[in-house]
Amino acid sequence: MSDETWTRFTHGGFTCTVVSDGPLRLGPAKNSFPGSTPNEVDAILLRNGLPTDHVTLDQNLLIVDAEGTLVLFDTGVGAMPDLGRRVYGPQAGQALANMEAAGISPNAIDVVALTHAHPDHCWGLLAPDGTPAFPNARVVVGAADHAHFTDPDKAAQVTDPHIRNQYTGARTNLSPYGDRLVLAEDGYSVATGITAIATPGHSPGHLVYEITSEGQTLVVWGDLCHHVVLLEHPEWAFVFDGDKEAAVAQRQSVYRGIVDGGRTVLSYHFPFPGLGTLTTRGGGYSWRPVAGRTAIVRSPHQASGREQGSDTSRSSKTPTGSTASSSAGIWPTSL
Ligand SMILES: [Zn+2]
């Protein structure tokens, strides 16, 4: 987990900014990976210098300036008092503040491209007062996710109040965008060089996005993979995978494509900023964080009245009210 709040880099001809929404804290690692054995999970965690009593996932929101179209990928848990922070704790829900710190106004976002409609990806569509946080954006969501998570009949069938929260929260956040919602299928073109790839498994309408500029492709893989454990063991599932068998198959297919194509990854839940590449190792894969690509770039979409204000393109700040070091465990409804 990092205390950095945003960073900026270039991808081909595109300017990219990664903004943190703050960390999410899960329960013990051994409960998070169905199909695994606890000893194996703990060994991997220890080898990677990670604790075994809990799993912490970062939330890395990517903003791409694609030839003048500003595309935000996923939104974090949001800061509505009765949704995001009540469920996920005050250390999350930092995205809007960190966007402002990075010099990007929410008003400048042209497209919000969701990988899926789980809380930590779409509950930030609304501002704390319940109005659209991105008032000038269209919102791209997988058609199957929209159908599933906004179906009141499905919500009514759920008895667990935390799981029901997923449905009501998705409907609450998506519906205010009205006719600016785009229900995307496989191959949907988001903007110049940006294509949605259907990867159902973690959720019914999960989308991975490929961002190609000047012959380089960056893969925004959302919740295709939450943790390095699932690189070493792609055959294991994640506790919140909706269809675990399909999620495993998607994981293996996308990993292979990334390695074969020499592509870079933006991983939503990996340690900030979640930028890296894959290499094969044994029967699995290993993660190589990409360093040194961070460039000093001044965004043309600065927030009004605010300057980026420094000659650095990185920023560190402990989020207000952070409880990241608290021993209190938080079990999100789904990730
Ligand atoms: Zn997630």
Q: Which amino acid is at 73?
A: F
Query: CB-based burial of residue 246 (10 Å sphere; 0-12 exposed, 13-18 middle, 19+ buried)?
Result: middle
**Residue 50, both tokens:** 């990670």
Q: Calculate the alpha carbon distances from 237 to 19, 49, 87, 149 in Å.
A: 27, 22, 24, 21
Per CATH, which fold does 4-316 belong to?
Metallo-beta-lactamase; Chain A (3.60.15)
Given a cut of 80, is residue 332 above it in pLDDT?
Answer: no
| Of 74-78, 226-230, 253-257, 329-333, minimum mean pLDDT range | 329-333
The CA 311 to ligand 1 mean position distance, Å, reads 32
The CA 121 to ligand 1 mean position distance, Å, reads 6
The CA 304 to ligand 1 mean position distance, Å, reads 30
The CA 225 to ligand 1 mean position distance, Å, reads 9
The CA 268 to ligand 1 mean position distance, Å, reads 7
Query: pLDDT tens digit string along 247-289?
Result: 999 999 999 999 999 999 999 999 999 999 999 999 999 999 9
Peptide bond into 51 cis (omega under 30): no
DSSP string, 185-237: -TT-EEETTEEEEE-TTSSTT-EEEEEEETTEEEEE-TTS--STHHHH-TTS-
Instruction: Give residue for tokens 């159908």.
Output: 147
Q: What is the mean pLDDT of residues 116-128?
A: 96
The overall average pLDDT reported for the chain is 86
* Res 293: pLDDT: 46
The CA 151 to ligand 1 mean position distance, Å, reads 21
The CA 223 to ligand 1 mean position distance, Å, reads 5
Q: Return the closest-CA partner of residue 33 out of 223, 235, 237, 186.
A: 237
b/e code 5-39 from CB counts within 10 Å (16+ = b): bbbbbbbeebbbbbbbbbbbbbeebbebbeebeee
The CA 332 to ligand 1 mean position distance, Å, reads 10
Q: Return the closest-CA partner of residue 233 out of 44, 56, 58.
A: 44
The CA 115 to ligand 1 mean position distance, Å, reads 9
Most confident of 83-87, 159-163, 217-221: 217-221
Where do the structural domains in the chain lie, given as residue ranges?
4-316
Give the residue, 41 or 30, on which the prediction is more confident. 41
- Total-model pTM: 0.88
Q: Is residue 254 within a helix (H) or strand (E), and if so which, with residue range? A: helix 244-260
Instruction: Give residue for tokens 């799981």.
Output: 163
Given a cut of 50, is residue 292 above it in pLDDT?
Answer: no
Q: What is the mean pLDDT of residues 55-70?
A: 96
**Residue 55, both tokens:** 């799993």
Q: How many CB atoms lie within 10 A of CB 68?
A: 10
The CA 122 to ligand 1 mean position distance, Å, reads 10
Give the residue, 152 or 245, on which the prediction is more confident. 245
Given a cut of 70, is residue 140 above it in pLDDT?
Answer: yes
Given a cut of 90, is residue 82 above it in pLDDT?
Answer: no
* Res 2: pLDDT: 57
Query: pLDDT tens digit string along 303-328?
Result: 433 333 333 355 654 333 332 222 33
The CA 142 to ligand 1 mean position distance, Å, reads 15
* Res 113: pLDDT: 99
3-state secondary structure of 17: strand
* Res 185: pLDDT: 98
If pLDDT is split at 50, 70 and 90, which confidence band does 201 have?
Answer: very high
Give the residue, 216 or 38, on which the prediction is more confident. 216
The CA 307 to ligand 1 mean position distance, Å, reads 31
* 247 vs 244: CA distance, rounded Å: 5
* Res 334: pLDDT: 66
Q: What is the mean pLDDT of residues 155-175?
A: 90
Residue 141 DSSP class: E
CA atoms within 13 A on the CB side of 251: 29
Q: Return the closest-CA partner of residue 148 out of 203, 71, 227, 190.
A: 203
* Res 79: pLDDT: 87
The CA 57 to ligand 1 mean position distance, Å, reads 8
The CA 176 to ligand 1 mean position distance, Å, reads 22
* Res 266: pLDDT: 98
Look at the chain and count its residues.
335
Using an 8 Å Cβ cutoff, are 277 and 283 in contact?
A: no
* 305 vs 60: CA distance, rounded Å: 25
Q: What is the mean pLDDT of residues 165-185?
A: 96
Given a cut of 50, is residue 162 above it in pLDDT?
Answer: yes
